[in-house]
Structure formats: C-alpha cells, structure tokens
C-alpha cells in the first residue's frame, strides 16, 4: 500500500514546499484538487501541457505520485448550460491528468439540484439515469485519453451504495471507469451500525474495480435539529484513529488484493497527520 494524503490538508506554503513536506513525512502519494490549492489555477483554459508537465516535474522530484486529480462537480446539475460548463471542466481535467501522470481523475456522483445538496430525489431511478447519461461523454473522453475516471460512492449522493455503483459500472461498460473506495463515505446516520456488512458488500461487488482508497474515521455526535429542536445523530468525519472505525477487514482486503494501491488519508490536519499515518501503517502491518 502506498500511503498518501490530501494535499489541501497539509501545512500551507508554496506548492513546491508542500510537496517537499509530503515527501519528508514519508507519504508516497497525494490527492490533488487544484481548486483547493492556493496559487494553483484550475480553470479549463489554464490546464495547458506546460502546466501539467511543471506539476509532474515537482512531484517526480519529490518521489510523490499524484494518486487522484480531484474534480468533484455535479454531473446531475439540472441547468443545461451549467452542466456543459461542468462537463468541460471534467474533459479538461482528463486531458490534464494524462499529461501530469495522475493515477485517476476522481469525482463523487452529485445530486439532482443546483446546490449539490443531499435530497430524497438522490435515491430515485430518474436521478441515476440522469447521472449515467451525463457520465457517458466524460468516460468516452477518458477512454480516448487513456485515463482512468473513478467515481466515489457516497451515502447521501446519487450513487449511494455498492449495488448502485455496480449498476453504473455495468451500464457504462468501460475499463476506464473505476471506483474510489471511501468506506466512511458509505455511511450515514441510518446505517453506520451496519458498517461491517456495508464494507463487506462493497468489497465483494466492487473489489475488482477499486482503483484507489480513501482512509478516514468517523464519530457519531448528537446535535440539535435547527427546525425541530430534537437531538439527532450526525456522523463527523475525522482523521484515522480519532473515531470508531475498525480498519482490519479493509486493510486485509488491500493487502491481499490491491498490491501497491494508492491510499490517501482524509480529514487530517498538520497537527495530527503523522499520528493518523502511524495508526494506519501499524494496522496494515498487523493484518
């Protein structure tokens, strides 16, 4: 397993200094979201071959891979003009990824509203059909560019579980469409107590198509509903080792089936990233 980190979770500084620090911390890869990195342009017109090769040179100098080039936009946006803009950004990121050497271009799966807000309609057949339809030209571009496009199932988005993700993979039918496995993102307030069952199903149904892994933790917290005033459980995402996750089965799957896979830490801070790193590496060695 090649462990890495989300680059926008690292200590602020110049881009070159941040990548050098990632190397110093012993991480082997990074999740790069251009729009979240201060000083790095992310507009389609800025994503030139020269820019891509500059980034590639900095990463290679520091022996750090770009595990994911993140482009987390809403492919179910209901406004046709906005959807065209979103699609153009995906196509530009795919072309860019091929030049900068990113492992995958990564995305979540959206919601059928302009605000990208979780809603009951996310679980409808209509929302899924819309997402698949809008995904097709993006995957077609990935095929032509020789780039892997990876979707990340999230409990409150359109592709909310492993079965739904399996349908998307099978209907698109492309070897260039794969999966980012983020176990915590498959959980919500209704299902987190069944997490072992959910993780097992995900690895069973999606295992061959998992391209990389996100690692974080969670803890349930009681918060008052602003409308009803009632206490409601919410899941709070935190760094590895700071919540309730048992990583044993997931790390065993990684060790047995995904040699040298990129796995990036999420929801860390500069203050706790080393402890989170050590926690995961200890557990990985133990399984």
Residues 6+ apart with CB under 8 A from 23: 62, 63, 64
Q: Which residues pair with 177 in a beta bridge?
A: 149
Q: How far apart are CA 137 and CA 143, in angstroms?
A: 10
The two beta strands, 231-238 and 217-224, are antiparallel
User: Who's near 275: CB < 8 A, 6+ residues apart?
Assistant: 239, 241
Residue 250: predicted pLDDT: 97
Q: Along the chain (287 residues), what's the average pLDDT of each consecutive run of 10 residues?
A: 97 95 98 95 97 98 98 97 97 98 97 96 98 98 98 98 98 98 97 97 98 97 79 93 96 98 98 97 96
CATH of the domain at 33: 3.20.20.150
59 contact partners, CB below 8 Å, separation of at least 6: 19, 30, 65, 66, 100, 101
What pLDDT shows up at residue 228? 75
Reported pTM:
0.95
Domain with 185 in it: 2-286
Count up the domains in the chain and report the number: 1
Cα→Cα distances 73→131, 223, 266, Å: 12, 28, 18
The percent helix, strand, coil of the chain (3-state, each to 5) is 45, 20, 35
Phi, psi of 173 (to 5 degrees): 65, 45
DSSP state, 46?
G
Cross-strand partners of 212: 180
Report the C-alpha gap between 258 and 237 in whole angstroms. Answer: 25
What are 43's two structure tokens?
Answer: 């507009």
What count of residues does the chain have?
A: 287
Neighbour count for residue 26 (Cβ, 10 Å): 11
Q: Which residues contact 120 (CB under 8 A, 6 or more apart)?
A: none
Which pLDDT score, from 0 to 100, does residue 223 have?
84
């Amino acid at each position: 397993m090649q462990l890495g980190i989300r680059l926008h979770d690292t200590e602020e500084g110049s881009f070159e200094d941040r990548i050098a620090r990632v190397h110093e911390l012993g991480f082997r890869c990074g999740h790069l979201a251009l729009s979240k990195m201060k000083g790095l342009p992310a507009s389609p017109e800025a994503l030139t071959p020269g820019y891509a090769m500059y980034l590639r040179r900095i990463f290679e100098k520091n022996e750090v891979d770009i595990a994911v080039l993140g482009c987390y936009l809403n492919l179910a946006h209901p406004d046709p003009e906005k959807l065209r803009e979103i699609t153009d950004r995906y196509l530009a990121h795919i072309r860019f990824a091929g030049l900068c050497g990113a492992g995958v271009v990564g995305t979540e799966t959206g919601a059928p509203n302009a605000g990208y807000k979780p809603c009951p309609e996310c679980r409808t057949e209509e929302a899924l059909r819309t997402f698949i339809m809008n995904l097709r030209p993006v995957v077609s571009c990935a095929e032509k560019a020789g780039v892997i496009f990876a979707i990340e199932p999230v409990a409150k988005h359109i592709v909310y579980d492993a079965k739904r993700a399996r349908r998307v993979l099978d209907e698109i039918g492309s070897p260039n469409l794969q999966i980012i496995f983020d176990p915590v993102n498959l959980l919500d307030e209704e299902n987190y107590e069944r997490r072992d069952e959910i993780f097992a199903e995900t690895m069973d149904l999606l295992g061959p198509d998992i391209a990389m892994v996100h690692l974080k933790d969670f803890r349930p917290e009681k918060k008052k509903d602003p409308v009803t005033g009632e206490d409601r459980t919410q899941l709070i995402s935190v760094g590895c080792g700071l919540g309730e996750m048992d990583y044993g089965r997931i790390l065993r799957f990684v060790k047995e089936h995904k040699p040298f896979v990129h796995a990036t830490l999420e929801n860390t801070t500069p203050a706790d990233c080393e402890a989170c790193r050590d926690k995961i590496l200890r557990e990985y060695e133990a399984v």
